[in-house]
């Protein structure tokens, strides 16, 4: 059973039809929307500031989400896919974005709607990733624009697939 822990008077709120893997950890000021999935070894640490997650979000194995005390928060939109072993620290991820495996997204960065952050990339603090674009590298830089319909189709398909995968574990 996932570890859901209250801290500093904050108790996580988990939306309906959300799957939490047995060893997922959700702490403190965290709100998760409906039809989400948090996979094995994932940690959402809302002990020092808030983490808000929309509907249909999947946060894959080994990912860690945290913030800066009184300085940054995490806000994740709807239908977002966060790959395996991703670190998000105090950033905003807009609807339909995809964060590739092993990427790092730092404080006050904004990942635009339908954007893709390539696997292994490091998005530095205060970076604005344009909607519908691909960023890659360390530090992450603009690579190219993606046709909005194509990005939406790919990213939503991944999000829907993870909802299906979660159903296998319920």
Q: Above pLDDT 90, what percent of the chain?
A: 91
Question: What is the average per-residue pLDDT within 26-40?
Answer: 98
Count how many domains the chain has: 1
pLDDT for 36 beyond 90 = yes
Q: What is the CATH number of the domain that holds 78?
A: 2.160.10.10
Helix, strand, coil tally for the chain in percent (to 5): 10, 40, 50
pLDDT for 73 beyond 90 = yes
Question: What is the average per-residue pLDDT within 4-31?
Answer: 98
Q: Above pLDDT 70, what percent of the chain?
A: 100
Phi-psi region of 119 (alpha: psi -120 to 50; beta: other; left: phi over 0): beta
Predicted pLDDT at 14 = 98
Residues 159 and 162: their CA atoms lie apart, in Å, by: 5
Residues 37 and 35: their CA atoms lie apart, in Å, by: 7
Predicted pLDDT at 152 = 78
Task: Provide the greatest CA pair distance for the chain.
Answer: 44
Question: What is the average per-residue pLDDT within 31-41?
Answer: 98
Q: What is the mean pLDDT of the chain?
A: 96
Domain of 66 in residue numbering reads as 3-167
């Amino acid at each position: 059973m996932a570890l859901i822990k209250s801290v500093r008077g904050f108790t996580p709120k988990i939306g309906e039809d959300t799957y939490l893997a047995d060893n997922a950890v959700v702490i403190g000021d965290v709100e998760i929307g409906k039809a989400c999935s948090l996979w094995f070894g994932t940690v959402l640490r809302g002990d020092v500031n808030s983490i808000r997650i929309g509907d249909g979000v999947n946060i894959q194995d080994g990912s860690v989400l945290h913030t800066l005390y009184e300085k940054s928060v995490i806000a994740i939109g709807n239908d977002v896919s966060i790959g395996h072993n991703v670190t998000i620290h105090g950033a905003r991820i807009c609807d339909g974005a995809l964060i590739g495996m092993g990427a790092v997204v730092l404080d006050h960065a904004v990942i635009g709607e339908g954007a893709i952050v390539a696997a292994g990339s490091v998005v530095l603090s205060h970076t604005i990733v344009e909607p519908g674009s691909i960023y890659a590298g360390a530090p992450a830089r603009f690579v190219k624009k993606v046709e909005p319909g194509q990005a939406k189709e790919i990213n939503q398909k991944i999000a829907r697939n993870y909802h299906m995968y979660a159903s296998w574990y319920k």
